[in-house]
Amino acid sequence: MEALSNLVGNINGIVWGPAMLILILGVGFFLQVGMKFMPILKLGTGFKLLFKGREATGEGQISPFNALMTSLSATIGTGNIAGVATAVFLGGPGALFWMWMTALVGMATKYAEAVLAVKYREQDELGNFVGGPMYYIKNGLDKKWYFLAPLFAGFGAIAAFGIGNGVQANGVAAVMETTFSIPTYATGIILMVLTAAVILGGISRIGSVAGKLVPFMAIAYIIAGLLVLLINIGTLGSAVSLVFTHAFTPSAAEGGFAGAAVWMAIRFGVARGVFSNEAGLGSAPIAHAAASTAGPVNQGLIAMLGTFIDTIIVCSITGLAIIASGAWTSGESGAALTSLAFETSLPGIGAYLIAISLSIFAFTTILGWSFYGEKCVGFFFGAKALMPYRVLWIIAIYFGATADLGFIWLLADTLNAMMAIPNLIALALLSPMVFKLTREFFASNGATEGSTLAD
């Protein structure tokens, strides 16, 4: 275990080095500039589309509102609660600033991913739409780049066990133990049974109930978070200034906080930011490809809202609550740190709210990622490999729930970087197509996809 930890640690140091950070932020920034900051400027249009789309839905079509809710249920996970806390614990308050940066450029990345996923999707043997990085590499790029497709699908299938399974189960188990004194193995078994009921037993109802709960839990979490900020209104100003100053200057050790160099703030801010909003990872486009949508740009506009809501709204609330309440110097990490921040400000309900919302977020994320993993495996072996993969998926939950937090995050981080690399290269190579579709869509006021934009 020790040797394995060291090995993963070494690989992690390489894949999360400066080159990777430049790749993530650079590709996102390049896409933003190429689209003349459309994703940020058209944020309002995106939201308008979202609410207009609640009634106006064509035949056999999912409303954009539902489409966003479904993609959010996989995106909002432990990253928003435990991940932010880990970033602040390891990287200091400045990490939050770098998380915002991943979201600002990540909106363009996510937009491009969804546009390409819909543009280059295929139909599988059952007539369902399949897409995602492996398909836009295969169908959109020259043959000499084809090797990126199996590379992505291979790393994706393995990485899913980290970000989409182990970390989530671990987060739930940890928070259940601290809040309700439920032993981690018990949480592990309960999660296994519930997940098995959905993905092996086909009891979709459990999953769809959990999926419907996500928006409500997210709203409850946001309201509670705003309350925490309101209670700590006196220190909120200095918390915000801490975020900005320590983004560029090292933060000194304080209480249980070990101090962090600027590099640590960037490294953990970006890593956790990407972990949370998944922009650049290439996971979300797999779900976006399944949507029956008016067209690529429509889906892209909805997809980028996911990044905005996830990071700029939900993660900021968590991060600011941790900093403003002073909990960040306590020496706690992960969900326990967020729990502490909420509990000190809202005694009696704070910790419970965190425990319940984290559990629901994590559960839907485990279900959502099982689909991403399956599609990656399916890229190689077709539908026949699904059953063994699902069984492995369920077994992994138990190990995720009972393993050591630090190692699980390290492993997940490493695998995430490895699946992001082929995807980001493909995004850069396919960017002319994204720019072209975007230009045509807005020049024709949405007519290229049979809709009109009222702005």
Partner 1 sequence: MATKILLPIDHTDDQSWKKALPVALEQAKFYGAELEVISVIPEIILLPNLPANYGAGAKDHVTGVLRQILDSNGAKDTTVHVEEGSVYREILKFAHAGGFDMIIMASAKGDFPNYEIGPNLARVVRNAHCSVMIIRA
Among 5, 66, 235, 329, contact with partner 1 (rule: CB under 8 A): 66
Q: At 447, which amino acid appears?
A: A
Tell whether residue 371 is a contact of partner 1 (CB under 8 A): yes
User: Cα 102–106–112 angle (5° rounding)?
Assistant: 165
State both tokens at 358.
């984290």
In the bound complex, what is the minimum distance in angstroms from residue 96's beta carbon to partner 1? 26
Tell whether residue 367 is a contact of partner 1 (CB under 8 A): yes
What's 322-368 look like in SS3? HHHCCHHHCCCCHHHHHHHHHHHHCCCCHHHHHHHHHHHHHHHHHHH
Tell whether residue 198 is a contact of partner 1 (CB under 8 A): yes
In the bound complex, what is the minimum distance in angstroms from residue 128's beta carbon to partner 1? 6
Among 149, 163, 199, 266, contact with partner 1 (rule: CB under 8 A): 199
State both tokens at 408.
């699980």
Closer residue to partner 1, CB minimum distance, 61 or 402: 61
Report the SS3 class of residue 257: strand
Backbone angles phi, psi at 429, to 5 degrees: -70, -30
| CB burial string 293-310: b at 16+ within 10 A, e below | bbbbbbbbbbbbbbbbbb
Among 3, 125, 234, 432, contact with partner 1 (rule: CB under 8 A): 125
Neighbouring residues of 447: CB distance < 8 A, sequence distance ≥ 6: none
> How far is 377 from 134, CA to CA, in rounded Å?
11
Angle between helices 204-231 and 184-199 (to 10 degrees): 130
Closer residue to partner 1, CB minimum distance, 92 or 211: 211
Among 104, 112, 175, 291, contact with partner 1 (rule: CB under 8 A): 291
Tell whether residue 202 is a contact of partner 1 (CB under 8 A): yes
Closer residue to partner 1, CB minimum distance, 72 or 340: 72
CA 434 to chain CA centroid, Å, is 22
Tell whether residue 235 is a contact of partner 1 (CB under 8 A): no
> How far is 253 from 64, CA to CA, in rounded Å?
46
Closer residue to partner 1, CB minimum distance, 6 or 123: 123
| Interface map 85-124 toward partner 1 (x if CB under 8 A) | --------------------------------------x-
Tell whether residue 234 is a contact of partner 1 (CB under 8 A): no
Q: At 418, which amino acid appears?
A: M
In the bound complex, what is the minimum distance in angstroms from residue 17's beta carbon to partner 1? 31
Among 383, 391, 395, 443, contact with partner 1 (rule: CB under 8 A): 383
Tell whether residue 382 is a contact of partner 1 (CB under 8 A): yes
CA 30 to chain CA centroid, Å, is 21
Residues binding partner 1 (CB under 8 A): 60, 62, 66-67, 70-71, 73-74, 123, 125-128, 198-199, 202, 204, 207-208, 210-211, 214, 287, 290-292, 364, 367-368, 370-371, 382-383, 386
